[in-house]
Amino acid sequence: MDPQIADQEAREPQPGAVLLLALRRPPLPDPPASIPPVDRRAGHTQGPDLTPARDQPMTQTLTAPGRHPAMFLLLFALFYGAFYGAYFAVPDRLLVNEVYEPTLVAPSGLLVNLISASEQATWADNRLQSRRAILDVVRGCDGIGLLLLLTAAVLAFPAPWRLKLAGVVGGWLLMYLLNLARIVGLYFVVAYQGQWFIPLHTLLIPGALVLLGGLYFHLWTAWVVGQGSHERA
């Protein structure tokens, strides 16, 4: 056979080859540029890492004393025990002459006469009296226990000292005003509704004062947490 004819026949497609070419699927188009290629060896796409960095600061939420409740309770018990021990170490005569009369009995007597001038209340040492009632302020019924309880809770709470000082001063002022209202109210109860003195003095009024003290502590802690959030912002 002529070599030129053989070469021409080799270059011409055979019928079977044409059929195979026609049955072949066209190549897939290239993926869009926005889709990162797949790294099958690593098992994930090779693109920008969208996971948050481990060293990035996260938003912190102040949960104290819930973060360290045992420490809060320990400090609270230590403060309250120390305050209560110091309170009972004060002599009775010192409380009567130097504390009760100028801070509790005299202001309460002035308020009684201001509310009702006909009472003509007088006071001396720890006694508030009139022709209708006699009321003695004694240790344990002077409202100081609740004041010490609230002070210990504020000091035990993890907060800056300037915020603790504000909490203690505000708590003392609130408890002092509530205590004056308690003494004045009990005076009028003794004078006009004596049968109500025992339940009010031993149960209802102390319970109400504890609730108000707890509400103050809750509001103060919320304010402290808010101050911490503003400082971190």
47/39 Cα distance (integer angstroms)? 10
Confidence bin at 130 (pLDDT 50/70/90): very high
What per-residue confidence (pLDDT) applies to 39?
55
Identify the residue whose tokens are 């109210």.
Answer: 185
Token couple for 166: 């504000």
The pLDDT value recorded for residue 227 is: 84
Q: d(Cα 70, Cα 164) in Å, to the nearest integer?
A: 19
The string of pLDDT tens digits covering residues 153-168 is: 999 999 999 999 999 9
Report, as an integer, the average pLDDT of 93-97: 92
User: pLDDT value at position 22?
Assistant: 43
* pLDDT tens-digit series, residues 131-184: 999 999 999 889 999 999 999 999 999 999 999 999 999 999 999 999 999 999
Question: 204 CB contacts (<8 Å, ≥6 apart)?
Answer: none
Whether pLDDT at 119 is above 70 = yes
Q: Write down the pTM of the prediction.
A: 0.69
pLDDT for residue 56:
44
Confidence bin at 55 (pLDDT 50/70/90): very low
- Considering only residues 22 and 28, tell me which one the structure prediction assigns the higher pLDDT: 28
Strand residue runs (E) in the chain: 38-39, 44-45, 122-124, 127-129, 134-136
| CA distance linking residue 229 with residue 60, whole number of Å | 9
Task: Tell me what the mean pLDDT of segment 191-207 comes to.
Answer: 95
Query: What pLDDT does 57 receive?
Result: 41
Q: Label residue 66 by pLDDT band (50, 70, 90).
A: low
CA distance 206 to 200: 8
pLDDT of residue 199: 96
pLDDT over 70 (residue 73): yes
